[in-house]
């Protein structure tokens, strides 16, 4: 597959300083791609804890199974990620690949295989040539560096057109801590627990019992509110590693007030990474934010927002810069959530087009047309039924999506 043009919604990679206790690196193992990095490794300081959330797709890849089995121990010393081959629907061969590569990494780092976390992304149904990973790992381990984050962000890309990363500085109990993460994702992206690959590390000292609820809550506010194409991948995960090098005071409960700033920073970082994935949606030219209010509950509002975000008719109208609010009404009605056409109102770009079931008298389309030509589109829906609110993010659907996915394996 030829390199794709960079998304018009791309954001530049930020400066990625070291996170104490983390070393990253990337190498070319020749798994599928020619002339580019496709293998990433990280090692973590002894005592590093880990949390994770995984795809709910019922046909998950072997690496997802491996990580789910390893997660309850709450300890991590290494991460190995390959791009180009998802190691999904590969039967016994997939299981053997995870066993072999976890053992390979464990020998290098000097840890138990259960402390090695694995991820794969790429084509489904092709046996992973894990021997290529085994051959490349020793050389890769030798070049791991505290400054290897940017290389890692590029090394996990598949149809991504730009690397994705974010960083936050915060504190726990008055002690400075850093949170930093990388992500990949462009297509086969729909929320059902993690929607791509995302790896976040912090130098904070936090036990798994604290990390896991923090990550779950943050993911529900971010990755679970985004969609590119409504397809939930077989391989997706978000992993959060805490090296403990910051030396912050002990925290024993998720609701400890000392965690407030950290939780806010983590949520903010996860949302930024999630929106970077949407910005790189295959063929995307516009980022869409759908805000729903007046629902019977927050959960109902979320479902309505996602119905609009996933609607091909809404997404193609936005690609064509057509303020077709009738398609928004259709998507609300098909969501299965409580809605009443006679209390429904729709705004685009802050301009109310329809109120209480009909077009606003004297509606001037001029500012809405101008808004539709921009790169970021805002849709607001008021159901007029209650106090529930919810937000979802999506992108437009263009011919580019078909072009990319029609030639994905070529």
Q: Are 325 and 372 in contact (CB under 8 A)?
A: no
3-state secondary structure of 80: strand
The closest of 25, 23, 103 to 70, measured between CA atoms, is: 103
Query: Within 10 A of 221 (CB to CB), how many other CB atoms are there?
Result: 14
Shortest CA distance to 191 belongs to which of 405, 393, 396? 393
Between helix 260-279 and helix 208-220 the angle, nearest 10°, is 50
> Is residue 226 annotated as involved in ligand binding?
no
Residue 394 annotated as binding site? no
Give CA separation, 8 vs 5, 11, 110, 328, in Å: 9, 9, 44, 25
Query: Is 195 annotated as a binding-site member?
Result: yes
Contact 179, 191 (CB under 8 A): no
Longest dimension (CA), the chain: 72
Q: Is 170 annotated as a binding residue?
A: no
Active site residues: 195
Position of tokens 């606003």? 360
Q: Please choose, from the candidates 126, 33, 140, the residue with its C-alpha nearest in 3D space to the C-alpha of residue 88.
A: 126
CA–CA gap between residue 163 and residue 218 (Å, rounded): 21
DSSP-derived secondary structure for 99-153: HHHHHHHHHHHTS-GGGEEEEEEEESSS---HHHHHHHHHHHHHT-BTT-HHHHH
**Cα–Cα distance for residue pair 153/181, rounded to 1 Å:** 9
What is the spatial distance between Cα 214 and Cα 49, in angstroms, rounded to a whole number?
13
DSSP string computed for 207-236: -HHHHHHHHHHHHHTTGGGB-SSSPPPSS-
Cβ neighbours, 10 Å, residue 260: 12
Report the SS3 class of residue 359.
strand
Residues annotated within the binding site for substrate are 158, 184, 195, 282, 405, 410
Residues annotated within the binding site are 158, 184, 195, 282, 405, 410
């Amino acid at each position: 597959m030829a390199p794709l043009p960079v998304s018009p919604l791309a954001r530049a990679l930020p400066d990625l300083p070291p996170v104490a206790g983390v070393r990253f690196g990337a190498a070319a193992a020749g798994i599928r791609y020619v002339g580019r990095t496709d293998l990433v490794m990280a090692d973590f300081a002894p005592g590093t804890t880990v949390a994770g959330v995984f795809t709910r797709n019922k046909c998950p890849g072997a690496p997802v199974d491996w990580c789910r089995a390893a997660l309850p121990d709450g300890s991590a010393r290494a991460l190995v990620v390959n791009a180009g081959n998802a190691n999904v629907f590969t039967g016994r061969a997939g299981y053997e690949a995870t066993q072999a590569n976890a053992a390979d990494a464990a020998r290098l780092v000097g840890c138990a295989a259960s402390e090695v976390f694995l991820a794969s992304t790429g084509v489904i149904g092709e046996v992973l040539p894990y021997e290529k990973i085994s051959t490349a790992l020793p050389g890769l381990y030798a070049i791991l560096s505290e400054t290897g984050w940017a290389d890692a962000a590029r090394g996990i890309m598949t149809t991504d057109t730009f690397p994705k990363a974010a960083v936050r500085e915060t504190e726990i109990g008055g002690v400075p801590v850093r949170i930093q993460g990388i992500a990949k994702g462009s297509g086969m992206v729909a929320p059902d627990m993690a929607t791509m690959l995302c790896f976040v590390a912090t130098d904070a000292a936090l036990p798994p019992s604290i990390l896991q609820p923090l990550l779950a809550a943050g993911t529900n506010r971010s990755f679970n509110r985004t969609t590119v194409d409504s397809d939930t991948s077989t391989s997706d995960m978000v992993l959060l590693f805490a090296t403990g090098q910051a030396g912050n005071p002990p925290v024993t409960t998720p609701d400890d007030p000392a965690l407030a700033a950290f939780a806010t920073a983590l949520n903010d970082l996860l949302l930024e990474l999630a929106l970077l994935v949407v910005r790189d949606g295959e063929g995307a030219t516009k980022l869409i934010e759908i805000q729903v209010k007046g629902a019977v509950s927050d959960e109902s509002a979320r479902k309505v927002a996602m119905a609009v975000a996933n609607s091909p008719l809404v997404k193609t109208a936005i690609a064509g810069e057509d303020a077709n609010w009738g398609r928004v009404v259709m998507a609300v009605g098909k969501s299965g959530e409580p809605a009443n056409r006679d209390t429904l109102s729709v705004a685009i770009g802050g301009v109310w087009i329809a109120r209480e079931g009909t077009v606003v008298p004297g509606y001037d389309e001029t500012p809405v047309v101008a808004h539709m030509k921009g790169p970021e589109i805002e849709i607001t829906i008021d159901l007029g039924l209650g106090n529930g609110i919810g937000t979802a993010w999506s992108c437009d659907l263009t011919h580019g999506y078909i072009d990319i996915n029609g030639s994905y394996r070529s």
